[in-house]
Structure 1
């Protein structure tokens, strides 16, 4: 008898019971995702997708700001919003963002099926597990051209939906196979001023949802979609590590996910933290003497975030120069520092030119297990100060507290135009889910988002 495929073995692992600690982590990450999604409501992509969704038939799933729609239509909107501000969660080893894809699918499935809070949180945990396991196995070569959040996210979406649908392992393996058969997303959109990255996430979510529905109906899927001779690894991942899909772990991998406190690409975060640490070593007078800034980080951070003169909000979020210049001029990073208007700030332009980016071999070697950076400030009197971060704030080694996450979510909701009178009880209802809170009550509050 042939050995079980990777999707079959993964499906078996996903069947195990979810514990209370993992459910609480899922609820916290739901708060974080919801804050990111609400903030995105102020951007053109939200109104563009909303117009498409509102033209479709109504249904049972809440599409943020667009009423109740079918699950597939709601996912077009909900799964696109969480990544718009680049403040969504991230898994370093997998180099991807599980939340924007997995959470909207889990929520849609729970609403469509009338599930309870526990079933929703279990679906999130299992969706993260599948996404991270597949993502970390894809390797760096895949990341060079492919968008892993979309590639691996389709597997996580299928797992999350299958959890709510209570599919047995055999059917889950079929769903994973069909979701993986047409997954992907190319990084070319990074080179053009387009919001296609968010569309990648929406399509991964919709693909996973459809795959789970088809598996429920009995449709088979390719079981060796990962390791097969014409499978995902062979086609897109020259340095894939297949065994990482099924490696033994001490706990659910949702606990190894990082959160992002700053409104920029995650690759910029360790440099942001190091910059804040370096500045803390100087008084105001000494800070005025800074002449030049050296940033050392890993190769991928420089590849994605070397933009000395960003022109748009998106380019600002992917500019190490802008991130550090903004701190020097304005202080602690805020959402308002990453707008199109901020890009043309006359105070920032000369400072961005004084920031030198250098690849650090040690940082590159540690990546993606650790996203590190060091910052060196050179002063007019010849002195210099330096700070280094192996890990960034929000990583498991330097976690954000529940209060930190709630503060972030409230600020994001405000940025998106959601009143504190709605946001405060909304996030409170999400936090209550881990203690048996009402999913129906949460759904009613979500439906009030305009």
Structure 2
């Protein structure tokens, strides 16, 4: 828990204190009173893209080590059959289905990231991995149409992104905002689909903030528990709405009030920024990842993939250098390559591994993370040199330098890694191909994967989510990736 310093409690700027005083009420009205016709078509279309992408990542998550055990544990918790866990026919209480779906979605660190603000600001975030599982679980539970689901998703993502950008969050502060802002967004989403009033949502937020938390320690330790803050945020949001619906009361001003969200979880709160152009600009995660790894590794991964496209191969390299900022080099992605009990997590958060894998395969997908125990690939990753030579402001820039055995030197510099919708977006075709690859990796046949994709794209017009969830159901049988999947290296 982080307590904001006294000088930051009012936020920054002349309008901060009035914005703080009205933050809770204005955001609650925004979530519940915004009419469908007030949501721009472009915001809905972007939400469909995030939905499609998250569904594919959730399916791929079934191949993660211990996924089978995790789902068996969730099923063992029992309870009323309200909603299915994504990719299964197992129906459980909505909060449990949302929790499990969120863990699956984050398992290979492949889902949308990076919250944007109303003026294009950006901050580290993983919103979609919480909101999409909550949206599907609550829509199935309440019989909501695809349009209602999408409206709730747009508004919850907008709220969550605004809180993230205006919070002063720093990924190296120790706190994990996937367990804080995501809980507020999950609550808003569940409240809209449940149809509770503004007072009910405010009560639910007051209950939700009692459940929020999480730290980035599992990321530094390369432990799969890095998935849990956003999953517990999903569970907290659904639970909070359930309590509010029986009349259970929360605090009076859970976001801007004394000891509320701003005080407890924001180091430099900007309530004025959180409310800026509210109802005009709809914010959300801005990056659809092309590769399965931490976004901090994407600039160097992109550069290595471009070298691979130029014909440079891992087996050609006698030396690989990755130039990044000092902060990136000293962070969790810059650690030496020394895989432990969960090598797929080590791989997802390693500049060294992802650069070596991109030179070997031209990409990094979940199956490559599962191949992290390959001795040759591991030896190459361990030998990669990290050079903290870039200026501090170039945090999304990297340069990869490869010296080949015959003495040639190849370099590639990337300043806008692939995936950001403002600078280097994936095309619709690339997003769809990513979904299909994840679905087939999970066990769907190509035909069934394409059928599921069509239903996901048609969510805005769907009368309910049942057919989509049916199409996403994977074949029964072992699906976890506890046995390493061999990956064939491409040749020129």
TM-score (norm 1): 0.88
Residue 215 of structure 1 deviates from its aligned partner by 2.7
Is the 2:21–2:256 Cα contact (8 Å) retained in structure 1?
Answer: no
Counterpart in the other structure of 1:353: 383
Is the 1:302–1:359 Cα contact (8 Å) retained in structure 2?
Answer: no
How far apart in 1 are the matches of 2:463 and 2:43? 16
Residue 448 of structure 1 deviates from its aligned partner by 6.0
Counterpart in the other structure of 1:28: 49
- Which has the larger displacement, 68-77 or 102-111? 68-77
Counterpart in the other structure of 2:34: 16
How far apart in 2 are the matches of 1:143 and 1:223? 31
Is the 1:34–1:409 Cα contact (8 Å) retained in structure 2?
Answer: yes
Counterpart in the other structure of 2:70: 49
How far apart in 2 are the matches of 1:61 and 1:196? 24
**Alpha-carbon spacing, 1:372–1:162, altered in 2? closer, same or farther (3 Å):** farther
**Alpha-carbon spacing, 1:345–1:180, altered in 2? closer, same or farther (3 Å):** same
Counterpart in the other structure of 1:276: 305
**Residues 1:338 and 2:369 are matched in the alignment:** yes
How far apart in 2 are the matches of 1:261 and 1:26? 17
**Residues 1:320 and 2:351 are matched in the alignment:** yes
Residue 179 of structure 1 deviates from its aligned partner by 1.4
Pick from 412, 425, 429 the counterpart of residue 403 of structure 1: 429
How far apart in 2 are the matches of 1:179 and 1:349? 46
Alignment length, in residue pairs?
441
**Residues 1:148 and 2:166 are matched in the alignment:** no
Counterpart in the other structure of 1:183: 212
How far apart in 2 are the matches of 1:211 and 1:419? 38
How far apart in 2 are the matches of 1:136 and 1:161? 22
How far apart in 2 are the matches of 1:449 and 1:6? 46
Counterpart in the other structure of 2:468: 442
Is the 1:307–1:315 Cα contact (8 Å) retained in structure 2?
Answer: no
**Alpha-carbon spacing, 1:59–1:317, altered in 2? closer, same or farther (3 Å):** same
Is the 1:61–1:74 Cα contact (8 Å) retained in structure 2?
Answer: yes
Counterpart in the other structure of 2:360: 329
How far apart in 1 are the matches of 2:183 and 2:142? 20
How far apart in 2 are the matches of 1:170 and 1:214? 13
**Alpha-carbon spacing, 1:52–1:290, altered in 2? closer, same or farther (3 Å):** closer
Residue 81 of structure 1 deviates from its aligned partner by 0.8
**Alpha-carbon spacing, 1:23–1:197, altered in 2? closer, same or farther (3 Å):** same
Q: Specify every segment of 5 or more residues in structure 2 that has no aligned partner in the other structure, as ranges.
A: 1-17, 116-121, 477-492
How far apart in 2 are the matches of 1:286 and 1:23? 42
Pick from 421, 428, 435 the counterpart of residue 454 of structure 2: 428
Instruction: Provide Cα deviations, 1:252-307, integer angstroms capped at 9, x if missing partner.
Output: 113x5211111111111121112333555x55599946634232246257402013
- Which has the larger displacement, 73-82 or 379-388? 379-388
State the secondary structure of the residue aligned to 1:374.
strand
Alignment map for 1:38-437 (pairs within 5 Å): 38-55=59-76, 56-64=78-86, 65-92=88-115, 93-141=122-170, 143-192=172-221, 194-248=223-277, 250-254=280-284, 257-278=286-307, 288=316, 291-297=319-325, 299-300=327-328, 302-311=330-339, 312-339=343-370, 341-350=371-380, 352-358=382-388, 360-363=390-393, 371-378=396-403, 384-396=409-421, 397-436=423-462
How far apart in 2 are the matches of 1:285 and 1:52? 43
Instruction: Provide Cα deviations, 1:17-49, integer angstroms capped at 9, x if missing partner.
Output: 323322222222111111111111123442222
Residue 154 of structure 1 deviates from its aligned partner by 0.3
How far apart in 2 are the matches of 1:286 and 1:427? 34
Is the 1:50–1:66 Cα contact (8 Å) retained in structure 2?
Answer: no
State the secondary structure of the residue aligned to 1:91.
strand
How far apart in 2 are the matches of 1:75 and 1:285? 41
Counterpart in the other structure of 2:479: none
Is the 1:7–1:223 Cα contact (8 Å) retained in structure 2?
Answer: no
How far apart in 2 are the matches of 1:318 and 1:199? 16
**Alpha-carbon spacing, 1:349–1:232, altered in 2? closer, same or farther (3 Å):** same
Residue 212 of structure 1 deviates from its aligned partner by 1.9
How far apart in 1 are the matches of 2:97 and 2:256? 32
Q: Relative to total residues, which structure has the larger helix share, 1 or 2?
A: 1
State the secondary structure of the residue aligned to 1:101.
helix
Q: Specify every segment of 5 or more residues in structure 1 that has no aligned partner in the other structure, as ranges.
A: none
Is the 1:310–1:322 Cα contact (8 Å) retained in structure 2?
Answer: no
**Alpha-carbon spacing, 1:354–1:101, altered in 2? closer, same or farther (3 Å):** closer
Residue 234 of structure 1 deviates from its aligned partner by 3.1
Counterpart in the other structure of 2:486: none
**Alpha-carbon spacing, 1:351–1:183, altered in 2? closer, same or farther (3 Å):** closer
Is the 2:21–2:257 Cα contact (8 Å) retained in structure 1?
Answer: no
How far apart in 2 are the matches of 1:305 and 1:294? 12
